[in-house]
Amino acid sequence: MNETLKIGITCYPSLGGSGVVATELGKLLAEKGHEVHFITHSIPFRLGAFHKNIHYHEVEVSDYYVFRYPPYDLSLASKMAQVVKREKLDILHVHYAVPHAVCAYLAKQMVGDDLKIVTTLHGTDITVLGQDETLKDLIALAINRSDAVTAVSADLIGQTRTALDITRDIDLTYNFIDKRVYYPREVSGLRSEFAAPDEKILMHISNFRPVKRVSDVIEVFDRVNREVPSKLLLVGEGPDMPKVQNKIRELGLEDRVHFLGKQDEIAQVISLADLLLLPSEKESFGLVALEAMACGVPTVGSEAGGIPELVEHGITGYLAPIGDTDAMAAYAVSLLNNPAEKARMREACLDRAHTRFCDQKIMREYEEIYYRVLGRK
């Protein structure tokens, strides 16, 4: 049996798929017996109740009056070094390159080479920030100086190589779901609150940022709704919400769309849907499509980024070129009109989510990376 490790985890604790993945991984590692230390600016929102083997270290930022901008990055690096020394951590596993991988590199300069850094790239840290001239060299430095780098899709590995001219090894480690949480829920009572028995439910869940192309969701729904009586449930909030609301008004769809805002019980919410719409411009993986898959709900979306590695076209959903809302609507209509096809896809979704993206399997892949960088294979 491999020895247990002391692992520091830094992530964005309050938003996004990267924070969810980091937190869920920490919980799994702690259940396995490892000692996990979250080093973040607030308690990760997915942490939930008290967990044995999980510790939380809050990063406090100096607000000294000379600072125009509070130096969060320096405070984080300094906190990482303090926690590593005091708790004798073996590994710092940082999620999202900016600023976490840079801070970990700085912490390593303070504590010495025994500390190993594992950096997980999640998407926009490369596909958006990696294009930013003010940050790209620093991101490349942090990637090159990490002891191991992982990315959540093969597509993201390719994008990292191209955008930042990176040649080092990058491990492919897909995102995962906890099957104790993500499974088809019994929601027939709740369903009737949103749709009549003969209506289908389409759903979109995101942070409503431009990369999600939520306007495309409305266009697809508009076309589907002309042929299949249906409702659209929008889950989440974000900057594009006013634009989306305008489009819904312009198309006269107000009484067919429900806004659910931010939701915690995602498995229950997704179980309401007949299909998920994910027409993103950029998507390194698309964790929400995996969450849907694990609840037996297929995705109709774009071929962006890593989505095709997750959603197998024609098997667990349908994919079309970015912006091709006609094709997405046609796929959605054909799926919704064909109960046998829908039942087959549901089974394929459950099977794929719970085997290929099984939490225990992916956790072991991360553990192997930890033992490898520590030379304890």
**Is residue 340 within a helix (H) or strand (E), and if so which, with residue range?**
helix 339-355
Residues that bind ligand GMT (CB under 6 A): 16-18, 21, 96, 122-124, 127, 152, 175, 207, 209, 211, 282-287, 305
CB of 128 vs ligand GMT, minimal distance in Å:
8
CB of 151 vs ligand GMT, minimal distance in Å:
9
Three-state DSSP at 212 gives helix
Q: Which is nearer to ligand GMT, 145 or 209 (CB)?
A: 209
CB of 239 vs ligand GMT, minimal distance in Å:
11
Q: How far is CA 246 from the centre of its chain?
A: 28
Three-state DSSP at 207 gives coil
CB of 355 vs ligand GMT, minimal distance in Å:
19
Q: Which is nearer to ligand GMT, 115 or 177 (CB)?
A: 177
CB of 191 vs ligand GMT, minimal distance in Å:
27
**Is residue 57 within a helix (H) or strand (E), and if so which, with residue range?**
strand 54-58
Half-sphere exposure of 204 (CA within 13 A, CB side): 30
Q: Rounded distance, CA 110 to CA 68, Å?
A: 26
Q: Is the N-terminal amide bond of 99 cis, ω within 30° of 0?
A: yes
Q: Which is nearer to ligand GMT, 126 or 350 (CB)?
A: 126
Q: Rounded distance, CA 100 to CA 55, Å?
A: 18
Q: Which is nearer to ligand GMT, 124 or 325 (CB)?
A: 124
CB of 346 vs ligand GMT, minimal distance in Å:
22
Q: Which is nearer to ligand GMT, 105 or 285 (CB)?
A: 285
Q: Which is nearer to ligand GMT, 37 or 122 (CB)?
A: 122
DSSP state of 205: E
CA nearest to 23, candidates 33, 15, 13: 13
